[in-house]
């Protein structure tokens, strides 16, 4: 149906959806890339241990992720009741304000123990807004997508994640090169966070021009649902349908588990791991991360397009299998002092690319699991829950485990285990969901598992 929409409306949907993702992941990337600097300024009192400060930094990082499911539930219900457009505008304003605030916060040397609490509060606000961003963005992109192009359009969400991470890494690399270590630790780290303000204002202007999605308008009119009556959304579903929705959310979280864990391990946690464990310099760690994110970005759109042709299942299964199998060999290449710079560069490039095989089709796969009336809530919660556990905790789990065991292979254990579990969940995915239209009816109670079609793909 969206094929009849004017081209500008579709382009605006892609652009308006993309800018929020860019800001979200730009900030999360910057926080990860500057983790060691932030640890020194906010979590390490004079005489404190650097590794303990880094653990606390990642604990604050992980805590924000646990507010993502709350944001997904609150903003998801709002987006399913009153519309994707107004909800995404609200989410973007909150995200921009919280990110800018981090660049203005006083450090431990200035206000003492209040500093880490203020930073954690700003991170919580970001977690809430980020929880509401994914479900709305993917709903907009896939509901505007022409027939047979949901994988490609949904892949733009993941592609702008890669662009945000690359922008964060690039900004950090420029500052690390242009400034002395003293200046970087003193005030330079604030610059990337303050840049979120002009970027956010531009993004807000784009979202104010966004139209409501055709799927939401049809469902809204057909059911008579309005924000005033509150008849749309998960709360209005029968008990059996709510149970089926909860089952689909859990299954969706399992399907993206490997994507979440490997993505954060290879693309965000890597700089601090290389510095703290392998004694790499800050610049070397950032270069490795830029290369990994370049591989990630290069694979996303082709993977989304391929999934439109052959299905989400084979593409995502291939990505999860490669992540599981290659985790140890890729990490061992980085650990080996005899590995040349070229070989290490290829290793991190491949690491990013295999994550891209899952991230490309992933948004469309989640959108196809839920009907319009609960799509914002359902896919947002599935993604947020998986990210809260397997992304937000990645840095904390890996850093603390290495601290306790001294085993430098911990990242590989983590990625391989989550990738294997994700393989199991992805094996339940049907092979033909990419061919049909997005569902607009509410979910039904599950039927016999031997039947060809199940309520949630």
- Which residue do the tokens 């799509």 mark? 375
Q: Above pLDDT 70, what percent of the chain?
A: 88
- The rounded distance, in Å, linking the Cα atoms of 307 and 457 is 15
CA angle, 48 then 51 then 57, to 5° = 90
The pLDDT of residue 447? 41
Domains of the chain: 2-426 (1.20.1250.20)
> Which ranges constitute the DSSP H helices of 311-409?
312-335, 341-359, 362-367, 372-390, 394-405
Q: Is the pLDDT of residue 452 over 50?
A: no
> Among 32-36, 47-51, 145-149, 424-428, whose mean pLDDT is lowest?
47-51
Residue 84: how many other CB atoms lie within 10 Å: 29
Over residues 220-225, the mean pLDDT reads: 56
Identify whether the C-beta of residue 50 lies closer than 8 Å to the C-beta of residue 39: yes
| pLDDT, tens only, 270-313 | 767 777 777 777 777 778 888 888 999 999 999 999 999 999 99
Identify whether the C-beta of residue 408 lies closer than 8 Å to the C-beta of residue 243: no
The dihedral built from the CA positions of residue 98, 258, 300 and 284, taken in this order, carries a sign that is positive
Position with higher pLDDT, 86 vs 34: 86
The pLDDT of residue 253? 94
The pLDDT of residue 368? 93
Over residues 134-146, the mean pLDDT reads: 91
CA 209 → CA 11, 35, 385, distances in Å? 11, 36, 30
The count of residues in the chain is: 457
Residue 335: how many other CB atoms lie within 10 Å: 15
Helix (H) or strand (E) holding 36: helix 35-38
Q: Is the pLDDT of residue 227 over 50?
A: no
Secondary structure class of 409 (helix, strand, coil): coil
Over residues 120-148, the mean pLDDT reads: 90
| pTM, to two decimals | 0.82
The pLDDT of residue 50? 65
The pLDDT of residue 349? 92
| pLDDT, tens only, 330-356 | 888 888 888 888 888 898 899 999 999
| pLDDT, tens only, 171-207 | 888 888 888 888 988 999 999 999 999 999 998 998 9
Secondary structure class of 27 (helix, strand, coil): helix
Q: How many helices (H) and strands (E) does the chain have?
A: 22, 0
The dihedral built from the CA positions of residue 443, 449, 453 and 457, taken in this order, carries a sign that is positive
Q: Is the pLDDT of residue 439 over 80?
A: no
Over residues 128-154, the mean pLDDT reads: 91
pLDDT band at 65 (very low <50, low <70, confident <90, very high): confident
Residue 294: how many other CB atoms lie within 10 Å: 19
- The rounded distance, in Å, linking the Cα atoms of 387 and 259 is 9
Q: Is the pLDDT of residue 46 over 70?
A: no
Identify whether the C-beta of residue 142 lies closer than 8 Å to the C-beta of residue 1: no
Taking Cα atoms as reference points, which of 164, 158, 126 lies closest to residue 33? Answer: 164
The pLDDT of residue 83? 93
């Amino acid at each position: 149906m969206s094929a009849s929409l004017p081209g500008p409306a579709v382009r605006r949907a892609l652009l308006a959806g993309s800018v929020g993702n860019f800001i979200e992941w730009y900030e999360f990337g910057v926080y990860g890339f500057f983790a060691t600097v932030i640890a020194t300024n906010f979590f390490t009192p004079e005489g404190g241990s650097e590794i303990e400060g880094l653990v606390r930094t990642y604990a604050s990082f992980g805590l924000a992720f646990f507010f993502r499911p709350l944001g997904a539930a609150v903003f998801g219900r709002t987006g399913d009741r009153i519309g994707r457009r107004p909800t995404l505008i609200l989410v973007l304003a909150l995200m921009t304000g919280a990110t800018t605030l981090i660049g203005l916060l006083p450090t431990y040397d200035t206000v003492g123990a209040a500093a880490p609490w203020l930073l954690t509060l700003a991170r919580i606000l970001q977690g809430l807004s980020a929880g509401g961003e994914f479900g709305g963005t993917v709903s907009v992109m896939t509901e505007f997508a022409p027939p047979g192009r949901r994988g490609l359009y949904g892949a733009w969400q993941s592609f702008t994640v890669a662009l945000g991470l690359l922008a964060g890494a690039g900004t950090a690399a420029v500052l690390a090169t242009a400034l002395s270590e003293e200046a970087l630790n003193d005030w330079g780290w604030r610059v990337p966070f303050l840049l979120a303000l002009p970027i956010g204002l531009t993004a807000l202007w784009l979202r104010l021009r966004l139209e409501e999605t055709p799927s939401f308008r049809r469902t809204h009119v057909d059911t008579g649902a309005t924000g005033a009556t509150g008849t749309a959304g998960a709360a209005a579903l029968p008990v059996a349908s709510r149970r089926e929705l909860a089952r689909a959310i859990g299954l969706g979280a399992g399907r993206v588990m490997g994507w979440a864990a490997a993505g954060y391990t290879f693309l965000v946690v890597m700089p601090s791991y290389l510095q703290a464990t392998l004694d790499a310099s800050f610049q070397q760690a950032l270069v490795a991360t830029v290369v990994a994110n370049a591989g990630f970005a290069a694979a996303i759109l082709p993977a989304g397009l391929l999934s439109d042709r052959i299905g989400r299942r084979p593409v995502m299964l291939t990505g999860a299998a490669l992540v599981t199998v290659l985790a140890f060999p890729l990490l061992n290449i980085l650990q080996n002092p005899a590995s040349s710079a070229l070989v290490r560069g290829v290793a991190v490039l491949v690491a990013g690319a295999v994550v891209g095989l899952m991230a490309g089709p992933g948004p469309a796969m989640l959108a196809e699991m839920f009907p319009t009336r609960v799509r914002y809530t359902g896919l947002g919660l599935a993604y947020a829950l998986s990210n809260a556990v397997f992304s937000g905790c990645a840095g904390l789990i890996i850093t603390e485990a290495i601290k306790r065991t001294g085993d430098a292979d911990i990242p590989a254990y983590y990625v391989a285990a989550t990738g294997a579990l994700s393989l199991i969940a992805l094996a339940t995915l049907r092979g033909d969901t990419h061919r049909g239209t997005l569902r607009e009816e509410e979910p039904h109670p599950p039927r016999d598992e031997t039947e060809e079609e199940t309520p949630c793909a």
